[in-house]
Amino acid sequence: MADTSRKIEIRDIPTKRLRMRARVVGSEQDFPVIFVHGNCSSSAFFETLLKTLPQGFQGIAPDMRGFGHTEPKTIDATRGMRDFSDDLAALMEALSLKRAVFVAHSAGAGIVMQFAIEHAEKMAGIVMEAPLSPYGFGGTRDVDGTPCWADFAGSGGGTANPDFVQRLKAKDRGTESQTSPLNVMNAFYVKPPFRHPDEQALLDSVLDTHVSDELYPGGMTKSENWPGIAPGPTGMNNAMAPAFYNTSAFGSLRNGPDVLWIRGADDAIVSDTSLFDFGYLGKLGAVPGWPGDDKYPPQPMVSQTRKVMERYAANGGRYREVVLPDTGHSPHLEKLAEVQALLFPFLQEHTR
């Protein structure tokens, strides 16, 4: 049975790229598990999993650049997720880690897929929870990631709700607006009416996001194509834009590490009907001027991931997709016991 009393140590770890803040449990003699968080969050989102990690495993959850208390160096979005992937490689080098199991949530899974393309030999296994599509977020039309427009309009830094961004920057803890960070977290990070018992600590984590054109959400460029905005060169949302981010090469890896893919059946963020995707919002009538399904359909995010994973399996990799019912974007917060029952045996099976 998992030890529920494991103590988390907060560490600042210097690497050759930047100083990284991390939550750590266990010792250097234990098998390492690296937890990679998603957008507008930090390592704090993994606290319960870290505290309940079975003995024999060292849990390492860094704050990625632009989030939490890691050194806030600029995110070069023109490299896609490579800044983050390179940061993870530098972290492993600083800690003298040869291999690890990776547990990644949302955009963090995009980081880990990029890492796998470059460093599959360092990965003993991958757990992807609500993963970012291999073709990024926004601006693509089919399972093969075909762009809706040549300039990938409808993706990037300009897609973030401006009122949410301003409230995030102001560290707004209120609930009077639908776009307040707490309300957004409770409406979309999880499936309502779920409320996490430590929601104020999670809100602290969200509010630790560094807001700027260089970090979150990043800048934008104007476009003549609907909806009038296209990616800029820096920042998190631009790093996820398909103009710069494409990890479909993950499917071409030969005999890659085993993958456990966990997602919620009612995820409102990463979905074929995402409430953050301009194609789907336009179809709903929430964004005016939508040019129609023939020009800008909803992005089939889950279907895109599945097709890449099927190619991965055809090349000798193994993956398992698990869909948790009545669950939103953050299964490890909403269905902790179910995720532990999936994650912990996977870890035991991949300590080689």
Q: Give the span between the Cα atoms of 139 and 155, in whole angstroms.
A: 6
Range of the domain at 85: 9-349
**Which of 99, 104, 29, 94 lies closest to 61, judged by CA?**
104
pLDDT at 264 over 70: yes
- Domain tally for the chain? 1
Residue 165 one-letter amino acid: V
* CA-CA-CA-CA torsion sign (146, 149, 154, 158): positive
**Which of 271, 299, 251, 270 lies closest to 149, judged by CA?**
299
pLDDT at 2 over 80: no
pLDDT at 352 over 70: no
Band of the pLDDT at 254, cuts 50, 70, 90?
A: very high
| C-beta of residue 184 within 8 angstroms of C-beta of residue 163 | no
- Tens of pLDDT, residue by residue over 123-157, are 999 999 999 999 999 999 999 999 999 999 999 99
pLDDT of 4 reads: 52
Q: Give the span between the Cα atoms of 331 and 105, in whole angstroms.
A: 9
Domain of residue 193, CATH code = 3.40.50.1820
**Residue 2, in any domain of the structure:** no
When pLDDT is averaged across residues 295-300 and rounded to a whole number, the result is 98
- Tens of pLDDT, residue by residue over 166-181, are 999 999 999 999 999 9
pLDDT at 1 over 60: no
When pLDDT is averaged across residues 183-188 and rounded to a whole number, the result is 98
When pLDDT is averaged across residues 313-335 and rounded to a whole number, the result is 98
pLDDT of 351 reads: 86
Query: Which residues, at least 6 apart from 164, have a Cβ–Cβ distance to it below 8 Å?
Result: 179, 180, 181, 184
Q: State percent of the chain over pLDDT 90.
A: 98
**Which residues is 212 bridged to in the sheet?**
217
pLDDT of 3 reads: 41
Hey, is 9 helix, strand or coil?
A: strand
**Which of 206, 241, 203 lies closest to 220, judged by CA?**
241
**Which of 239, 69, 265 lies closest to 160, judged by CA?**
239
**Residue 4, in any domain of the structure:** no
Band of the pLDDT at 271, cuts 50, 70, 90?
A: very high
**Residue 243, in any domain of the structure:** yes
- Tens of pLDDT, residue by residue over 94-114, are 999 999 999 999 999 999 999
Token reading at 284: 């709903």
pLDDT at 197 over 90: yes
Average pLDDT value over all residues in the chain:
97
**Residue 1, in any domain of the structure:** no
pLDDT of 186 reads: 98
Q: Which residues of 120-144 are buried (b: 16+ CB within 10 A; e: fewer)?
A: bebbbbbbbbbbbbbbbbbbbbebe
